Amino acid sequence: MSEPVYILGGHQTDFAVAWSRQGLDISDMVRESVQGALENARVDAKDVQSIHVGNAFGEIQRQQAHLGAMVAQVVPELWGVPAMRHEGACASSSLGILAAMAEIDAGRYDCVLITGVEEFKNTDGRTASIGQNAASWQGHEDIACTYMWPAAFGLVAQEYERRYGLDRRHLNRIAEINYANARVNPLAQTRCWQFNERSFTEDDEANPWIEPGTRRQDCGQVTDGACSVILASGAFARRHARRLGLDMSRLARITGWGHKNAGLRLLDKFERSQNDDYVFPHVRSAITDAWRRAGISGIAEVDGIETHDCFTTTEYVAIDHLGLTAPGQSWQAVEDGTIEPGGRCPVNMSGGLIGCGHPVGATGARMVWDSARQVTGAAGPAQIDGAKRLQTLNIGGSLATVVSFVVESGH
C-alpha cells in the first residue's frame, strides 16, 4: 500500500437477534448496518464512491443473490454507487475489505463502504448446517460424518494430536474464555447464556460429542447479523478530520494485510504440510505478509488478536501460526494466560465466533471493526489497556481462504 487505509467508522447489528422472527430479513440487516456506519463515521452517503458486500449463503438461506444491489435498494441515498458482492465462505467480507483497499490504493475511489451480512435463523439448524457444506468440496472431502464442519475441525484436532499431542482441556479452556469475554459484549449472541461447572469439561452430558474431535462447546455459533465499515484514503481522512475538528489519532488505520488460498479439500492440506513445521503453512504466510506490509517484526508488536474461532481448534491453530508459541505448542498460551483478558496478547475480547456469534458473511468486517474500536479506546468493558495495534485472522472453509489485517491507531 502507498499509505495506510483509514477506518472512519462502522456499525454491528445485535448478533442475538433472529430477524425473521420479527418479520424482517437480510435486507433489514443491511439497512441497519449501513445507516449505522454512516452515522457513526459522520459520513454523508453522497461521499461514498464504491460499495462491497460480503456474503456466503444468501442464495441458499434466503434465495437472495445480487446483494451488491441490495444496498442501494434499502438505502436509496446510495443509488447509482458502483457495488459488487464477494463470496469466500467465512472470509467473504474480508475479501470485500481487500477489494476496497485496492480501489483506494489505486486512486479509483477515496471513500468506500463494506458490508458483511448473513441470515441463518430463518431456517432450522439442520437446514442451515447442510447449506454451509457448500463451503467444502462437495462429494470429494472423504469425511464420513453427519455434520461436515464439526467433523472437519475435529480432524484438525486429531491432526494436532498426531503431530504434537493435544490435551482437550486446552480446547475447553479456549471455549470458556471466549464465552466469558462475550458476557461483557452488548452485541454478542451468547451474552446471556448460562453454563455450569461441567459445561467446559469432558462430561458427555453437559458437553456432548458432535463429531469425533468436536464437542458442543467447541463450536462457534452461526447467527444472523451484519457489520459495515467505511474505509478512506489518507487524503479523504484528513479532510474529514479537519471538517469535524478531529485529531487524526482518533481514526484507526489498516497498515498491513495478508491473503492466501489453498484448495478446498481438507485432507489435501494435511498431506501437503507433512514436512512443514506448521499444519497450515499458507496461514502462516498470510500472517507474516501482514506483518511485513505493516512494517512490524512479529506478534511481539501486536497488543491483541481477533481471530477465527469457528471451532476451538481453529483458535488453537491461530495461536501457534500467529507466533504466540512455537508450532504445535499452542497449549502454552492457554495455560500461562497469554490469551486471556490482561494477558500478554488477549485473543477475542469480543467473544469471537464462539461467544460473539458467527454470521458468516459479516465476520471478517466485524473483526476489523472490533479491532478499530480497540485501538481507538472505544471498546468499552472489553478494552485492552493501551492497545495500539491489533491483528485479525479470518478464514473461509477448511482454512482454504485466509485473510489477515493489521489495524493500528492513527498518527
SS3 228: strand
User: 52-76 burial by CB neighbour count: b if 16+ within 10 A, else e?
Assistant: bbbbbbbebbbebeebbebbbebbe
pTM of the complete model: 0.98
In tens digits, the chain (411 residues) has pLDDT values of: 678 999 999 999 999 999 999 999 999 999 999 999 999 999 999 999 999 999 999 999 999 999 999 999 999 999 999 999 999 999 999 999 999 999 999 999 999 999 999 999 999 988 999 999 999 999 999 999 999 999 999 999 999 999 999 999 999 999 999 999 999 999 999 999 999 999 999 999 999 999 999 999 999 989 999 999 999 999 999 999 999 999 888 899 999 999 999 999 999 999 999 999 999 999 999 999 999 999 999 999 999 999 999 999 999 999 999 999 999 999 999 999 999 999 999 999 999 999 999 999 999 999 999 999 999 999 999 999 999 999 999 999 999 999 999 999 986
- 193: its cell numbers: 447464556
What φ, ψ does residue 404 adopt, rounded to 5°? -130, 135
Q: What share of the chain is helix, strand, coil (3-state, %, to 5)?
A: 40, 20, 40
Length of the chain equals 411
- 378: its cell numbers: 472505544
CB 210 within 8 A of CB 219: yes
